[in-house]
Amino acid sequence: MTSLERCDFSQAPHRQAFCSLLRHYMEDPMGDYTPHTEAQEKQLIDDLAAHPTAAVYLMKLDGVYVGLATTFMNYSTFKRQPYLYLHDVVIHHAVRGKGLGKKMVSGLIDIARAAGCCKVSLEVRSDNPAAQKAYKALGFDTCDPAMLYWEKSL
């Protein structure tokens, strides 16, 4: 039995699940980062809790937190509607391959639809075919025209 719930950082089990799943993601080859220190985790939680457009969702499987999605509500000036941006999408490696990622993203699509969003956007690594396959099965595809993801580190 799975469930998707909005993370409430005032609850210790939610904070612990968030930190544990984010560490898991950061250590994964697809995350490829050194996990945060305790102080950095606390700052991140404080920042996300105070961020006006952030929402974190946790997925439970049989009472155990196995999934995480960090989202941000954005706004399309062309469509004059909000849209949901999926930033982190994490399923614990112990339960991957069971359709949980698709189930979680499908739930987030429902949340976006209920909020009047015109679209849901995300980034997916070019070397992550499993995630690409899951997203395509849910109707995601490259933009038309195709967009490039660029960044400038500061």
Task: Give tens-digit pLDDT for 9-21.
Answer: 999 999 999 999 9
Q: Where exactly are the structural domains of the chain? A: 2-137
Give the pLDDT score at 114: 98
* Separation of CA 88 from chain center: 3
Contact 64, 4 (CB under 8 A): no
Q: Which pairing describes strands 120-122 and 54-61: parallel, antiparallel, or unpaired?
A: unpaired
Cα angle at 45 between 116 and 37, to 5 degrees? 140
Task: Determine whether domain 2-137 maps to CATH 3.30.450.40.
Answer: no
Rounded CA-CA distance 117/107 in Å is 14
Give the pLDDT score at 148: 84
Residues (pLDDT < 50) of the chain are none
Q: What is the dihedral of CA 69, 113, 100, 89, to 10 degrees?
A: -20
